[in-house]
Amino acid sequence: MKKKINYLLENVKYPLLAIALAFLIGSIFVILTDNSPIVAYSALLDGSLGNIPKFGETLLKTTPLIMTGLAVAFAFRSGLFNIGGEGQYLVGAISTVTAAWVLQDLPGFILIPIILLAGAFGGAIWGGVPGFLKAKLGVHEVIVSIMLNYIALFLTNFLVRVTLNPSTLQGTEQKAYSVMIPEHARLLKFNEFMPVFGYSSLHVGILIAIACAVGIWFLLFKTTIGYEIRSVGHNPYASEYGGISISKNIILSMMISGGLAGLGGAMTIAGLTFKVDQSSGLPGYGFTGIAVALVGKNHPLGVLASALLFGIMSNGSRKMQFEGIPKEVVGIIQGIIIIFIAGEAMLKFMTTRKKKEEKGEVA
Amino acid sequence: MSKKIISLLLVAMMVMAMFAGCSKPAAEPATEPAAEPAAEATTEDATAEEAPAEDTAKVDMVMGMITDTGGLGDQSFNDSGWMGLERLEAEYGIERKVLESESADDYGPNLTSFAEAEVDIVYGVGFLFNESMAAAAAQFPNQKFAIIDSVVEADNVASITFAENEGSFLVGVIAGMTTETNKVGFIGGMKFPLIEKFEYGFKAGVKAANPDAEVISNYADSFEDAAKGKEIATVQHQQGADVIFHAAGGVGIGLIQAAEEQGFWAIGVDQDQSHISPERVLCSMIKRVDEGVYQVGQSVIDGNFEGGVHLFSIANEGVGYSDNAGNLTEEQVAAAEKWKAAIATGAFVVPQTEAEFNAFEVPEI
């Protein structure tokens, strides 16, 4: 038990320290913009946690971050850097709209699981491509997955403008967004069964996201599949020697990773926006997901906590803008947290090396 | 292990000390905001001492604006809308607040958080707010909303729309008269109906002034990527275009750079863009988003806010053209004014879609 607590402390202390330092340094930037850090940070907290509807909006912001954070963390465990969360998220979103349009006559209780699975499936395919190329041809997954982001963006824009446009499917005038998913395909909102959530648009996707985090934890640490994936991440050649297929696990891990990001996109469509807009830029959740995974130390439960932190900062920055503090300050704080977390890895690397040198192991 | 814990505690204490050290100077700025307005007020009084009545006439209202993902500093319609609120602030003393949207799924939550804060009116800048504003307007029936570039049918939403096709027609006439190669270019941001209004209005104007001229039209799929604008402009210029018009926000900065380097004419959009390059920006198509925001804000102050469509066209000076750098010849200005008068009186309808453009016959004016 004591060992466990020590282990937890060891893993939590650096992120907490990094967060504290980041807020401290962030306050310098707040002062530079002629504002008070106290006003800024109390606005940040009040805006994100001040009352239940505000907390609901924070959880709403947290939901996709949990999914993309899990996606990145899961791939990291098998030694892969999935930078394609953006594309997988978008493909998940567009798959959901497509499935909801094609199957709109099905009753809600069947349709909702199907469209969410369609989103996860779309993301899994999009994540599987770099996995396959890495496993079979040795193409670096970073290059492939980042390029697939842009293919996903422009493919989505094309589908929204032509194939899935209301003008094509419903005969309305040309719109800059896709058809809306039908009413009965939408996720339940919290304020429909818990009125205390007031104006918040929080939907049950948050529960699905938490379930995913627990499920991924179980998969990684309690099953053979998870053991194999982690083993490939630690040392692929040793694993192969032990009878674990490298290529199978790389493809599998990228598909699960992509599926998680895709499900994130699917839940945003089914719970919040109900349609996909034509967009000139990537949505941003995939990239923030990298930071979420990093702060969460690539542990599914750590990802939950760090996604909440990013959700708080993102939603709280609204109130900060009300107080006249530019939203970029929050971006600066996020950046500093990441630098410190990355710095921790460097620090650890140096200390272990030093220890090894002391022991005379470096020879 | 214990050594580690002690060092950790020490670090924590140091951090705390830094916090404590910081909080004192921080407390000063906290009181400053209270003092600052007073200081400002005195300087204001010093400059406008003859009109102390202004202070009492201050309107105690808060107006909120939500940008699209382009955010403030886009030198385009978000900034223009913000300028409209700036004028209201200067003239009536209202307080203005802004929320910048990080992504498209922020629109709904941003609208509700303004509505929940009970500001006097919430502006959504951009037609992408359409569906989320319709939902928010139904959820908060007593909250006043305004949307730019789109129509939301609700009593508490003012829909501020512009006849972009009319303004584009005028710069199209000018482009058609200016070109020597009989080729002009158009660069759009993204291919959706709003930007197509610019495209087909412009094409109709070119056709009206110069039936032999050809319009090369390309879309950048971006409103930010200046490098792409430069690339497209260069290709269009190589194909022979010597006057290029853009409706693409930040992409147009690249067009103007290319025009400067390669020596052809660029036509600006939204605001007068001749300040970027007085020698190479022939003229600009003007879309007064600030005027739309201002007028609707004024109606809120005067207590006669009305929902429904507020169309800004040539007839009420909401769109037009401008030439601050003085590059246009008298002949060009005369022609543009002639067409402007004809459009204002409703002598003909400027096309705004491909179908309308194909059916468009240049009228005798």
The tens digit of pLDDT for each residue in B107-144 reads: 988 999 899 888 999 999 988 898 899 999 999 999 99
* Domain range list for chain A: 60-316
What value of ipTM does the predicted structure carry?
A: 0.80
Judged by DSSP in three states, B97 sits in strand
Closest to A280 (Cβ–Cβ): which among B112, B190, B194? B190
pLDDT digits (tens, 9 = 90+) for A149-190: 999 999 999 999 999 999 899 988 888 899 999 999 999 999
Provide the pLDDT for residue A279.
Answer: 86
Residue B25 has pLDDT above 60, yes or no: no
Question: Where is pLDDT greater, at B163 or B18?
Answer: B163
Q: How far apart are CA B174 and CA A30, in angstroms?
A: 48
Chain A residues in contact with B105 by the CB 8 A cut-off are 268, 272-273, 283
- pLDDT score recorded for residue A198: 86
**Residue type for position A185:** A
User: Which chain A residues are within 8 Å of B8, Cβ to Cβ?
Assistant: 13
Q: Which fold has domain A60-316?
A: ABC transporter involved in vitamin B12 uptake, BtuC (1.10.3470)
Tokens of A311: 């959700």
Question: What is the separation of C-alpha B255 from the centre of its chain, rounded to a whole number of angstroms?
Answer: 18
pLDDT at A138: 92
Chain B residues closer than 8 Å to A158 by CB: none
pLDDT at A3 (0 to 100)? 79
Residue among A36, A46, A63, A282 with most chain B CBs within 10 A, to mutate: A36
Cα–Cα distance measured from residue B95 to residue B86, given in angstroms and rounded to the nearest whole number: 9
Is residue A230 within 8 angstroms of chain B, CB to CB? no
Tell me what pLDDT residue B20 has. 46
Q: In this model, does residue B24 exceed pLDDT 50?
A: no
Which of A206, A299, A216 has the alpha carbon at shortest distance from A259? A216
Can you point out the beta strands (E) in chain B? Answer: 62-67, 95-100, 121-124, 145-148, 157-162, 183-188, 214-219, 243-247, 265-270, 281-287, 308-312, 319-322
Q: Phi/psi class of residue A235: alpha, beta or left (left: φ > 0; alpha: ψ in -120 to 50)?
A: beta
Give the CA-trace dihedral at A362, B2, B6, B7, to 10 degrees: 10
pLDDT tens per residue across span B253-274: 999 999 999 999 999 998 889 9
Residue A145 CA from chain centroid, whole number = 15
* Residue A144 phi, psi (nearest 5): -65, -45
pLDDT tens for the 363 residues of chain A, in order = 677 788 888 778 778 888 888 888 888 988 988 888 999 999 999 989 999 999 999 999 999 999 999 999 999 999 999 999 999 999 999 999 999 999 999 999 999 999 999 999 999 999 999 999 999 999 999 999 999 999 999 999 999 999 999 989 998 888 889 999 999 999 999 999 999 998 888 999 999 999 999 999 999 999 999 999 999 999 999 999 999 999 999 999 999 999 999 999 999 999 999 999 888 888 889 999 999 998 898 999 999 999 999 999 999 988 888 888 888 888 888 888 888 877 776 666 666 677 767 666 544
pLDDT at B35 over 70: no
Distance (Å) from the alpha carbon of B354 to chain A's nearest alpha carbon: 12
* Contact assignment for B127 to A314 by CB distance below 8 Å: no
Contacts of B57 (CB under 8 A, 6+ apart): B92, B93
What pLDDT shows up at residue B6? 57
* Residue of chain A with shortest Cα separation from B192: A176
Per DSSP (E only), the strands in B175-226 are 183-188, 214-219
A:B CB pairs within 8 Å: 115
CB A36 within 8 A of CB A30: yes
d(CA B351, CA B80): 25
Separation between Cα atoms, residue A132 and residue A141, nearest integer Å: 9
Interchain contact, A281 vs B115, CB within 8 Å: no
**Token pair of A220 as six digits:** 């990684």
Q: Does B8 touch chain A (CB under 8 A)?
A: yes
Q: Does the pLDDT of residue B290 top 60, yes or no?
A: yes
Tell me the C-alpha to C-alpha distance, in Å, between residue A315 and each of A229, B64, B130.
35, 17, 22
pLDDT tens for B45-80 read 444 444 444 444 678 899 999 998 878 877 778 889
CB atoms within 10 A of CB A329: 23
Q: Specify the pLDDT at position B282.
A: 95
Q: What integer pLDDT is reported at residue B1 of this predicted model?
A: 47
Integer Cα distance of B76 and B272 in angstroms: 10
Of residues B18, B104, B223, nearest to A273 (C-beta): B104
Mutate to test the interface with A, among B13, B76, B128, B192 (most CBs of A within 10 A): B192
**Residue B343 amino acid letter:** I
Q: Write down the mean pLDDT value for chain B.
A: 85
Look up residue B106 and give its DSSP letter. Answer: G
Per CB-CB distance under 8 Å, the chain B contacts of A314 are: 102
Q: Which residue in the set A20, A173, A272 is minimally distant from B105, CB to CB?
A: A272
pTM recorded for the entire structure: 0.82
Q: Rounded to the nearest 10 degrees, how much is the dihedral formed by the CA atoms of A304, A306, A309, A310? A: -100
Query: How confident is residue B4, by pLDDT bands cut at 50, 70 and 90?
Result: low
CA distance A62 to B64: 25
